[in-house]
């Protein structure tokens, strides 16, 4: 099946095509960029929720119950479970369905494990593209479950509309970690395993932290900072005072093994979604997300170009040896490699200026 047929099958709702597209994306197979590019015209409808937190907080069980509850409400679900990378193959260590027992056999819940591939933020660079594939497929809700590596779980902000941070009960050290960095990315705090001793204390500590954070400029909108936006496609200027006041991070208590509190959590997600749209932050966040995607693609492409130049120059080892011998230095090498790229960009800028001024080559003559 060629890429055109694959895209057509995905848009027609064939799960096998969705699986093949995500595999193509994750493997960075030839032609995957054109395929992802074609997906963009069909995206923008799904709600994307990120679930993060420390290992042992119960993320997998909660994601399972979230998917089951969404299905009970008649909505389709896509789940991307970011797993630790195998040191041998680079692939995901855990399998797709191991942690999704409640929805096995339900074709309207599509679960895909993806490898973190060593990225500090816990997300593979292919994750955003896989979200696009699920969105274009027509999934109503897309849930991303991260590896769970403490403060490094920050890349989720670039992909999810709403981020839920799970905190296990009775963990004072965990609260201190949150104070050090994760407060800014949480749109909803979830105290899972709330039937265990220490849950009430954890809720109180989180509440105090949020109050202190608001006084210091945190917590008013989570990672969704308010911006003055002149125009958005989804901004209603007749917003209420609550939207103008910003977002105060709620705390939801759950017992995922019993599905207790899951409905309340889904309601909190829905309320946050309404806040994002009513305040105009959804448009702002989408714009920031696309800006970061552009930067990421440029970094990847420039890196690939420079790697090719390094090979043509004899490889980085030969250049490093030349530095060791005192024949050159790293700054000079970098400058020499970047010089052709800079000249090329200057030529492009000149061409753009010429086009903007309506001057053509024939006019010069």
**What's the pTM value of the predicted model, to 2 decimals?**
0.79
Residue 275: the pLDDT is 97
Neighbours of 184 (CB within 10 A): 17
Residue 231: the pLDDT is 32
Residue 125: the pLDDT is 73
Q: HEC profile for the chain?
A: CCHHHHHHHHHCCCHHHHHHHHHHHHHCCCCHHHHHHHHHHHCCCCEEEEEEECCCCCHHHHHHHHHHHHHHCCCCEEEEEEECECCCCCCECCCCCCCCHHHCCCCCEEEEEEECCCCCCCCCCCHHHHHHHHHHHCCCEEEEECCCCHHHCCHHHHCCCEEEEEECCCCHHHHHHHHHCHHHHCCEEEECCCCCCCHHHHHHHHHHHHHHHHHCCCCCCCCCCCCCCCCCCCCCCCCCHHHHHCCCCCEEECEHHHCECHHHHHHHHHHHHHHHHHHCHHHHHHHHHHHHHHHHHHHHHHHHHHHHHHHHCCCHHHHHHHHHCCCCCHHHHHHHHHHHHHHHHHHHHHHHHHHHCCCCHHHHC
**Could you list the mean pLDDT of each consecutive 10-residue stretch along the chain, which spans 365 residues?**
93 95 92 94 95 85 95 95 56 48 75 68 73 97 80 70 89 60 82 91 88 58 40 41 69 94 97 96 91 87 86 86 94 89 82 63 47
Residue 91: the pLDDT is 44
pLDDT digits (tens, 9 = 90+) for 308-322: 888 887 888 999 999
Fold observed for domain 43-224+241-284 = Rossmann fold (3.40.50)
How far from 43 is each of 40, 126, 134, 137, 140, CA to CA, in Å?
5, 16, 9, 8, 11
Domains of the chain, residue spans: 43-224+241-284, 292-360
pLDDT digits (tens, 9 = 90+) for 101-116: 666 667 899 999 887 6
Residue 69: the pLDDT is 96
Residue 163: the pLDDT is 93
């Amino acid at each position: 099946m060629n890429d055109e047929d694959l895209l057509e099958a995905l848009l027609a709702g064939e799960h096998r095509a969705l699986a093949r597209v995500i595999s193509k994306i994750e493997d960075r197979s030839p032609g995957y960029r054109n395929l992802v590019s074609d997906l963009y015209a069909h995206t923008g409808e799904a709600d994307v929720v990120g679930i993060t937190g420390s290992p042992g907080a119960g993320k997998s069980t909660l994601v399972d119950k979230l998917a089951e509850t969404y299905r009970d409400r008649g909505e389709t679900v896509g789940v991307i479970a970011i797993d630790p990378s195998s040191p041998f193959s680079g692939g995901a260590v855990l399998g797709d369905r191991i942690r999704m027992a409640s929805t096995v056999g339900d074709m309207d819940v599509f679960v895909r494990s993806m490898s973190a591939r060593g990225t500090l933020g816990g997300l593979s660079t292919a994750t955003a593209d896989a979200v696009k594939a699920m969105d274009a497929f027509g999934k109503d809700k897309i849930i991303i479950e991260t590896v769970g590596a403490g403060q490094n779980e920050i890349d989720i902000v670039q992909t999810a509309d709403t981020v839920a941070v799970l905190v296990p009960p009775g963990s004072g050290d965990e609260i201190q970690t949150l104070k050090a960095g994760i407060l800014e990315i949480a749109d909803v705090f979830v105290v899972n395993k709330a039937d265990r001793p220490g849950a009430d204390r954890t809720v109180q500590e989180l509440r105090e932290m949020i109050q202190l954070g608001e006084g210091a400029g945190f917590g008013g909108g989570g990672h969704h900072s308010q911006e003055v936006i002149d125009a958005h496609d989804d901004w209603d200027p007749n917003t209420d005072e609550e939207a103008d006041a910003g977002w105060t991070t709620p705390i939801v208590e759950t017992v995922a093994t019993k599905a207790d509190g899951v409905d309340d959590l889904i309601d909190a997600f829905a309320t946050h979604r309404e806040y994002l749209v009513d305040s105009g932050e959804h448009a702002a966040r989408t714009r920031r997300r696309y800006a970061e995607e552009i930067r990421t693609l440029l970094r990847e492409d420039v890196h690939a170009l420079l790697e090719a130049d390094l090979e043509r120059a004899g490889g980085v080892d030969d250049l490093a040896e030349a530095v060791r011998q005192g024949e050159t230095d790293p700054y000079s090498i970098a400058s020499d490699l970047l010089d052709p790229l800079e000249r090329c960009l200057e030529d492009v800028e000149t061409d753009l200026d010429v086009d903007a001024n309506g001057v053509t080559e024939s006019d010069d003559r």
